[in-house]
Amino acid sequence: MARALINLPKTAKAGDVIEIKTLISHPMETGFRPGPDGRILPRNIITEFLCRFEGEEIFRAELFPAASANPYLTFTTTATRSGTFQFTWRGDGGFDQTETATVTVA
Amino acid sequence: MIRSAVLVLAGLILAAEPAFPGGIAPSDKRSGLAEMGPELQAMQRDDTAHPGMLWVQDGADLWARAPTGGAPACSGCHGEARASMRGVAARYPAWDARNGRPIDLQDRINLCRRTHQHVEPLAYESADLLGLTAFVATQSRGMPIAPPEDPRLAPARREGRALFEARMGQLGLSCAICHDDHWGRHLGAAAIPQGHPTGYPLYRLEWQGMGSLQRRLRNCMSGMRAEPYPFGAPDYIALELYLAERAAPLPVETPALRP
């Protein structure tokens, strides 16, 4: 499991715009670089990120070889009700990781 | 007449000899953080945006995890790192009485692994060693670098200064030529910092990863077209000792972020 750091406010007022910050540990190997033996290292990148709130998709991103290692994605959403965010990263070599975080809306 | 002119000239040269290590006046001393743009500074200051925190979190896990073989975890002896490790990184490299030589923080961690946990030392620049070192050093964040006044460290520190000022490599440069004499100017497009090791291990965007001070020194040496010493060489410890003295009392920034 790659280490992921997710930050969002624990509590919010209904209607507040909240910022969500995600960071995941990943080499994002481009597929263009030679390794120590001179051979091209196979591409190993995250290709897709998506965020769901209570099952509903609220943000999606496609990633390409130019993204740097340990991609950092930040976006905002409007807090409407308490619930769980689900963050999924998918990529080469069957990479698939899901993390969750909750927000309480007063 | 000529003789007195020569004497005056000699006096002027002596007066120009810098009184402080590195030739950088205390009021001019500043971390590489100050040379970066506002976006990168913000990235270093925001733990939720700082990729180095991935290593620090890994280090926190390693701190609490017991190695196989029944020996205690780091936390088994040292307890809560927040209290027990506070200020440790600010005084390293330090003297290791058992081996009779100066050691840096990553050597200290590996010695502890060998003597108290009875496991193999972690490889230089491995994610585990960088993570654990970064986690320990992060506990000293904000504290002024305070090299110990241990007289046993003095010979190595002197040697470090000599290495810092010695010309090396095919370009015939020394560390001092850039970082003492030309800091604040540019080498190509890159700003030349004063070269204070305030935040190691640090996340360098160019590396897309974490690296130790030794990795940084090797980088500079190959840039000067000099043959870098192998990882763990006593020359690095000597340089680290001199650099710590030269950087004091700037605050520890670990994990720093640099371009």
A74/B49 Cβ within 8 A:
yes
Q: Which residue has the higher pLDDT, B23 or B123?
A: B123
Residue B16 pLDDT: 46
Alpha-carbon span A89 to A50, nearest angstrom: 7
User: Is residue B24 assigned to a domain?
Assistant: no
Residue B1 pLDDT: 45
Measured between beta carbons, the chain A residues lying within 8 angstroms of B58 are 3
A21/B48 Cβ within 8 A:
yes
Q: What number of C-beta contacts closer than 8 Å exist between A and B? A: 30
Q: What residue ranges do the domains of chain A occupy?
A: 1-31+42-50+60-79
Chain segment B43-70, per-residue pLDDT in tens: 999 999 999 999 999 999 999 999 888 8
Nearest by CB to residue A5, choosing from B48, B205, B209, is: B48
B42 touches chain A (CB under 8 A): no
**pLDDT exceeds 70 at position A10:** yes
User: Is residue B1 assigned to a domain?
Assistant: no
Nearest by CB to residue A5, choosing from B54, B205, B209, is: B54
Assign 3-state DSSP to chain B and report helix, strand, coil percentages, each to 5: 50, 10, 40
Secondary structure (3-state) at B152: helix
Alpha-carbon span B188 to B211, nearest angstrom: 23
Residues 187-226 of chain B whose Cβ lies under 8 A from any Cβ of chain A: 205, 208-209
**pLDDT exceeds 80 at position B89:** yes
The residue-averaged pLDDT of B187-198 equals: 93
Structure tokens at B124: 């230089």
Tell me the pLDDT of chain B averaged across its residues. Answer: 91
Of the pLDDT bands very low, low, confident and very high (cuts 50, 70, 90), residue B166 is very high
User: Is residue B132 assigned to a domain?
Assistant: yes
The residue-averaged pLDDT of B8-31 equals: 64
Alpha-carbon span A32 to A11, nearest angstrom: 44
Residue B8 pLDDT: 47
Q: Please, are residues B81 and B163 in contact by the beta-carbon 8 Å criterion?
A: no
A18 touches chain B (CB under 8 A): no
- Would you call B220 a catalytic residue per the annotation? yes
**pLDDT exceeds 90 at position B11:** no
User: Is residue B11 assigned to a domain?
Assistant: no
Total of domains in chain B: 1
User: Is residue B185 assigned to a domain?
Assistant: yes
Distance (Å) from the C-alpha of residue A10 to the closest C-alpha of chain B?
14
**pLDDT exceeds 80 at position B133:** yes
**pLDDT exceeds 70 at position B20:** no
Residue B3 pLDDT: 54
Least CA distance to B58: which residue of chain A? A3
User: Is residue B160 assigned to a domain?
Assistant: yes
The residue-averaged pLDDT of B174-200 equals: 93
Of the pLDDT bands very low, low, confident and very high (cuts 50, 70, 90), residue B33 is very high
Of the pLDDT bands very low, low, confident and very high (cuts 50, 70, 90), residue B17 is very low
Alpha-carbon span B66 to B52, nearest angstrom: 24
**What CATH superfamily classification does A1-31+42-50+60-79 receive?**
Immunoglobulins (2.60.40.10)
Quote the domain boundaries for residue B223: 30-259
Cross-strand bridge partners of residue A99: A87
The residue-averaged pLDDT of B95-116 equals: 95
Of the pLDDT bands very low, low, confident and very high (cuts 50, 70, 90), residue B22 is low
Secondary structure (3-state) at B10: helix
How many residues appear in chain B?
Answer: 259
End-to-end Cα distance, chain A: 34
Distance (Å) from the C-alpha of residue A56 to the closest C-alpha of chain B?
25
Q: Please, are residues A102 and A7 in contact by the beta-carbon 8 Å criterion?
A: no
Measured between beta carbons, the chain B residues lying within 8 angstroms of A7 are 48
Tell me the pLDDT of chain A averaged across its residues. Answer: 95
Least CA distance to A67: which residue of chain B? B208
B205/A5 Cβ within 8 A:
no
Residues 44-63 of chain B whose Cβ lies under 8 A from any Cβ of chain A: 48-49, 51, 53-54, 57-58
Chain segment A70-89, per-residue pLDDT in tens: 999 999 999 999 999 999 99
Residue B2 pLDDT: 52
What's the CATH number where B214 sits? 1.10.760.10
